[in-house]
Structure 1
Amino acid sequence: MNKATFLSLAFAALTGGLFAQEKPAATPTPQWRPVYHFTPPTNWTNDPNGLIFLNGQFNLYYQHNPFENKWGHMSWGHATSKDLVTWKHLPVAIPEVVGKDTTTWIYSGSAVLDKNNTSGFGKNGKAPIVAIFTADQPKQKKESQFIAYSNDGGLSYKQYAHNPVIDLNMKDFRDPNVFWHEPTKQWIMTVAMVDEHMVRIYGSKNLKKWTKLSDFGPAGYTKNGWECPSLVPLVVDNNPAKIKWVLFVSSGGDHGPLMQYYVGDFNGTTFKNDNPADKVLTVDYGDAFYAAIPWRDAPQNKKILLGWLQNGKQETNPWKGQMSIPHDLSVKTTSEGLRLKQSPSTIVSGSLAKYAKGTLSKTNLTLENTLQLSPPGHFDGNSNWIDAVIKLNGAKKVGFTVAEKKGTAKKVLVGYDVEKQILYVDCTGAESANKSTENQIQTAPMKAVNGEIKIQVLIDKSSLEVFGNDGEKVISTMIYPDKDATGLSAFSEGKSAIKTLKVWDLNRR
């Protein structure tokens, strides 16, 4: 991904054009280091890359600067996990290539297990892992698609001797995402034609020679360039016999990052969008979620989306950038048509009891005004997970207050506005220094169901992710509370009732 282009377009309003000139913070910021989200031990990270499940482990490659806590020297960092919570950090898997006349940065892409050794890269009867990525050559102002292969389980990669495998002599042409399409017995690649607002689809029998199959776009949001496309088959209404294809595309939004999606059908050659070309469907309504791609091969045939959560204006040290909570994906039939459903992965939520210091469980609580949820010594470290079902009754607003500093107005509200029918995150009391005016309040349209709403609030030191009505809507953002701003409570304007409430205290580090 060409972050210089993206930052200049997408973050101009957010950062005042100064993002590229930021310097690493001199002071460590452990109070903002996430507990149950991925961060590298040190230095910069952005897009997740090469997501592949292998030998019982989730492999995460990621855009990484091995030398500095700022964007540059793009390489593929590497980590593995068995439960998507605890990560083993490994050496850089694909480093930048510095030559006499050409420097090649390793931009975003994907990785596949070539089970049948279609590429011929395998040795001794073992299937190789093949990485497909964008090679950016800054001096030549050129992006093309390279491949590299691994015969040691993905720990290290050797560049293909005849790279590039696709070269259109373009400045902005990036982020290949590859999968095997069984009905047509070929590898499929989606790659971004950035300024054309198109996704180009290629096919290959061997991962080396690629043939153009079709183009999709322009469609949906086209004010800024397109990046990080991925095309994924998803189950509809929990019925494995019914499948729809969803195409994800990232682009710089009006006030920060935007991810959009399209629902339709894929026949091995073309993707057909079910909705009108001007329809914009939003993956996340916050100001931080971007460049997400899926694990396609997770256990139980799950498709699990992982995104980059962007810092915005605030510096962290000795790392910068983190990944989102992994999202389980499906498609749901709604009154508006087929829509994406995404919820915190059950692989993660199933591990909460293992990692939690303590839990709070309540049922049938009458809620009026404020209910304190963080007694001294409990749930007071800004690393918590809340699941709640709330009966709205006569309330105007209901929700939770997080990262509250006692005796001050500093707090973040996560709530539901009954009259406006919106899920919202209100940071006006705490994040004015870190967010533009337009991003102080972030909202997503959402209707109550039988007078109730379901809400999940995931706060993890500096990240805040909110899932409404079983993943019907999602708002992800970054916050930077003071060290002593750790209050946690429920609120209601008017009388409501918490039907069920469970809070996990995950402040274990």
Structure 2
Amino acid sequence: MLRKKLILLILLLPAIKVLSQKKEVPTPQWRPKYHFTPEKNWTNDPNGLLFLNGEFQLYYQHNPFENKWGHMSWGHATSKDMIQWRHLPVAIPEIVTKDTTTWIYSGSAVVDKNNTSGFGINGKPPIIAIFTADQPKQHKESQFIAYSNNNGLSYTQYSHNPVIDLNKSDFRDPNVFWYEPAKQWIMTVSMVNEHMVRIYGSKNLKEWTRLSDFGPAGYTRNGWECPSLLPLVVDNDPKNIKWVMLVSSGGDHGPLIQYFVGDFDGETFKDDNNGTKVLPVDYGDAFYAAIAWRDAPQNKKVLLGWMQDGRRETYPWKGQMSIPHDLSLKTTEEGLRLVQEPSSFVTKSLAKYSTEKALLKKNMPINDTRINLSKERPFAGNSYWIEAEFAVDKAKKVGFNIVENPDITKNVTVGYDAEHGQLFIDCTISEMGNKSRRNLEQRAPLKAINGVVKIQVLVDNSSLEVFGNGGEKVISTMIYPDINATNLSVFAEGKAVIKNMKIWDFNQK
């Protein structure tokens, strides 16, 4: 059970590292400003993503009582721009009876527009949540549904739950969508230890028929979780659609989400590569359990993941979400590949939440040197967003030294290794002597285009996400800089030119 092992590791690492450390010490220096965190207490997987009444609805795995994993329930928040979030009461709490406790694990939610479930009232379509019910005492996971008639603020459990029960201990994370050609609901759900995704169909969300299984395929050294099946546009052509199966399946060096590109006929998903390739969604060590908004405006599919690594305690919250990613497919020499860009719903609001004047640079040579950018920034902190284009045909490496301390002896390096054709994050200097940091360097293959490479660097106090060439490759990780480690510099080994660079500093939440 990979996710339980991952969460256990997250819980144990800080205790192993510093047994004498006082608990519940506030850490505002690590609270993200433009990523979602709960007001307090634990969060992990995003759940039930919907766009409703002009707002993005986010449900999430949540412990309402403590800043650690447990008492699993669905927390709830809404946003108009995916930056500023309104925190709402717990939408689906754990179920406690005299006989058993049922925790509300991960799942999805749908607007039942045609009231196929019969749960709607007064002609208004209900919202149906479909989730895994975990019963720890019985060592059992099954699929439940609940319905809402108040715009998803609260839910009523279906009286005949579970709707799917295989009497298994590891059977979870249903993701449901309406498949119009067959006029029915489709569910993907994880057969964890079998390394398979089971596909079900239903006309009413209550009675489900097994349609097919996908897998084993790709990476199978850990259990499969959080599957989802999405139709994505190829090469920006809305008439060219391929299907992508996402599976969170752990990895050898940290969390791994893999994807498969193929076709779906309403019953069966067929991978174009016959399950022979392992295609990572993210090349970092802190991006997991991601699912997408299927109904975002402009027909966009917007992916959101959980970010956490457990190396440090944060308080009064634990865990955060990634930046939302707009998804598409691109034809490459290797075949169709996933492209992930920071969502346009976020980028169009950058100016609203950042300093009045962003730092701009154009056609600036950087030859075997480091240039300090901190003095020119109107608001110096560790919450900022960089977009940069480098000409690298005469360079060995280019990039940024972020979260530098004042004497420039510690930093994290982010950039492009032109000699090896790799996007990279290097935490070696910042984590010197820290034995809890396993992945000091994280790299992704990336080719310069006509001698130019584009890098987006999203630093948000305790998170770091790097996008290469408009989202062809992504690396996500967690960082925990000292309070005074706020310097920023740009560097080159060899001769390079910053063709364009813009930096937004965030000064509010």
Q: Which range, TM-score by smaller chain?
A: over 0.9
- Give unmatched runs, 5+ long, in structure 1: none
Deviation string, structure 1 residues 427-469 (Cα, Å, up to 9, x no partner)? 0111346675540000001111100100000000000000001
Aligned to 1:57: 55
SS of aligned partner of 1:394: strand
Q: In the TM superposition, what is the alpha-carbon distance from 1:38 to its structure 2 partner?
A: 0.2
The number of equivalent residue pairs is: 506
Alignment root-mean-square deviation, CA = 1.9
Residues 311 and 437, structure 2, Cα contact 8 Å, conserved in 1: no
Aligned to 1:208: 206
Deviation string, structure 1 residues 273-304 (Cα, Å, up to 9, x no partner)? 00142310000000000000000000000000
Residues 380 and 486, structure 1, Cα contact 8 Å, conserved in 2: yes
What's the % identity of the aligned pairs? 70
TM-score calculated relative to the size of structure 2: 0.96
Aligned to 1:178: 176
Residues 34 and 463, structure 1, Cα contact 8 Å, conserved in 2: yes
Residues 382 and 507, structure 1, Cα contact 8 Å, conserved in 2: no
Residues 233 and 328, structure 2, Cα contact 8 Å, conserved in 1: yes
CA distance in 1, matches of 2:437, 2:52: 44
Q: In the TM superposition, what is the alpha-carbon distance from 1:312 to its structure 2 partner?
A: 2.5
> Structure 1: which amino acid aligns with 2:361?
K
| Moved beyond 3 Å, runs of 4+ | 5-8, 14-19, 21-25, 432-438
Change (3 A) 1:134 1:18: farther
CA distance in 2, matches of 1:359, 1:86: 20
Aligned to 1:274: 272
Candidates 73, 88, 91, aligned match of 2:89 = 91
Change (3 A) 1:113 1:235: same
Alignment of 1:148-159 (within 5 A): 148-159=146-157
Aligned to 1:413: 413
TM-score calculated relative to the size of structure 1: 0.96
More deviation, 409-418/201-210: 409-418
Aligned to 1:225: 223
Aligned to 1:458: 458
Q: In the TM superposition, what is the alpha-carbon distance from 1:252 to its structure 2 partner?
A: 1.7
Aligned to 2:261: 263
> Structure 2: which amino acid aligns with 1:110?
S
Q: In the TM superposition, what is the alpha-carbon distance from 1:377 to its structure 2 partner?
A: 6.2
SS of aligned partner of 1:392: strand
Q: In the TM superposition, what is the alpha-carbon distance from 1:22 to its structure 2 partner?
A: 12
Q: In the TM superposition, what is the alpha-carbon distance from 1:355 to its structure 2 partner?
A: 1.1
Residues 176 and 229, structure 1, Cα contact 8 Å, conserved in 2: yes
Q: In the TM superposition, what is the alpha-carbon distance from 1:256 to its structure 2 partner?
A: 1.3
CA distance in 1, matches of 2:230, 2:274: 20
Q: In the TM superposition, what is the alpha-carbon distance from 1:394 to its structure 2 partner?
A: 1.2
Q: In the TM superposition, what is the alpha-carbon distance from 1:29 to its structure 2 partner?
A: 0.1
SS of aligned partner of 1:155: coil
1:352 aligns with 2:366: no
Q: In the TM superposition, what is the alpha-carbon distance from 1:139 to its structure 2 partner?
A: 0.2
Residues 53 and 298, structure 1, Cα contact 8 Å, conserved in 2: yes
SS of aligned partner of 2:249: strand
CA distance in 2, matches of 1:6, 1:145: 22
SS of aligned partner of 1:384: strand
SS of aligned partner of 2:154: coil
CA distance in 2, matches of 1:248, 1:273: 12
Change (3 A) 1:329 1:207: same
Deviation string, structure 1 residues 124-176 (Cα, Å, up to 9, x no partner)? 00000000000000000000000000000000000000000000000000000
CA distance in 1, matches of 2:421, 2:338: 19
Aligned to 1:498: 498
> Structure 2: which amino acid aligns with 1:174?
R
Residues 130 and 146, structure 2, Cα contact 8 Å, conserved in 1: yes
> Structure 2: which amino acid aligns with 1:364?
N
Aligned to 1:196: 194
Aligned to 2:64: 66
Alignment of 1:153-168 (within 5 A): 153-168=151-166
Aligned to 1:331: 329
Aligned to 1:302: 300
> Structure 2: which amino acid aligns with 1:462?
S
Change (3 A) 1:24 1:3: farther
Aligned to 2:362: 363
Change (3 A) 1:146 1:434: farther
Aligned to 2:386: 386
CA distance in 2, matches of 1:493, 1:323: 34
1:474 aligns with 2:490: no
Change (3 A) 1:164 1:326: same
